[in-house]
């Protein structure tokens, strides 16, 4: 495995990803002990934000990477191979609005367009295009739940694991857009040139 460099996501997927790497024979002790270090040459691990993983893998700065399906959907132009659903980090991309009357549906009926806040503008735009609805997409970086409460938009498209944050802010799920989980991706060139090593990793992942 040391012949391969793997991009590991920080954040919610970090701990379960290190657990998976341990189970397939990658020593993650140094990664666990050093919170600030980003590149671990001996184990072939480089750590980063989940949204940066496809960038590094596409460019060949990492041979393999692990990130959420939501990131891959939002960055669908990236030339990477999706090799496996790793079966953890489960969450759902949803359309949510303030509880009670569906303000987004009402705006669509009355004005022919609804305003939607999201951190995932491409996923949102694609969903409404595919379902034949007009939506003005407002990209936000912070807490997306605030946007409908403050009157910026009628609804949001966001990722939820348990729905607790939505409920705490008086929002309800109106539609499920996609089910997401952690995925293993590969650089297309590495997939050819390092096929044996990558196949061995896939085999070990399948076994655990």
**Structure tokens that stand for 206 in this block:** 């399948």
Give kind and range of the element (H or E) at residue 137: strand 135-139
Q: Are residues 76 and 137 in the same domain?
A: no
Q: Report the CATH number at residue 57.
A: 3.40.190.10
Q: Are residues 81 and 41 in the same domain?
A: yes
Low-confidence ranges of the chain (pLDDT < 50): none
pLDDT for the residue 3: 86
What confidence tens digit (pLDDT) does each residue in 92-133 have? 999 999 999 999 999 999 999 999 999 999 999 999 999 999
pLDDT for the residue 35: 81
pLDDT for the residue 126: 97
How many domains are contained in the chain? 2
What confidence tens digit (pLDDT) does each residue in 144-157 have? 999 999 999 999 99
Domain that holds residue 193: 6-89+181-207
Q: Are residues 193 and 116 in the same domain?
A: no
Q: Are residues 71 and 28 in the same domain?
A: yes
pLDDT for the residue 208: 86
pTM of the model: 0.92
pLDDT for the residue 1: 52
Q: Are residues 63 and 137 in the same domain?
A: no
Q: Are residues 193 and 163 in the same domain?
A: no
């Amino acid at each position: 495995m040391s012949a391969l460099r793997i991009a590991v996501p920080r954040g919610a997927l970090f701990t379960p990803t290190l657990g998976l790497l341990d189970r397939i024979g990658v020593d993650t002790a140094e990664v666990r002990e050093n919170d600030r270090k980003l590149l671990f040459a001996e184990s072939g691990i480089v750590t980063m934000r989940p949204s940066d993983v496809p960038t590094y893998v596409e460019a060949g700065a990492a041979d393999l990477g692990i990130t959420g399906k939501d990131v891959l959907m939002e960055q669908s132009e990236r030339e990477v191979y999706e090799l496996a659903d790793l079966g953890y980090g489960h969450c759902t991309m949803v359309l949510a609005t303030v509880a009670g009357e569906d303000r987004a549906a009402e705006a669509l009926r009355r004005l022919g367009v609804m305003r939607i806040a999201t951190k995932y503008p491409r996923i949102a735009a694609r969903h409404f295009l595919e379902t034949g609805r007009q939506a003005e997409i407002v990209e936000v970086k912070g807490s997306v739940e605030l946007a409908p409460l403050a009157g910026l938009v009628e609804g949001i498209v966001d990722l939820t694991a348990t729905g607790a944050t939505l409920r705490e802010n008086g929002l309800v799920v109106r539609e499920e857009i996609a089910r997401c989980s952690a995925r293993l991706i590969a650089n297309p060139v590495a997939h050819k040139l390092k096929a044996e090593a990558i196949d061995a990793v896939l085999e070990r992942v399948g076994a655990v």
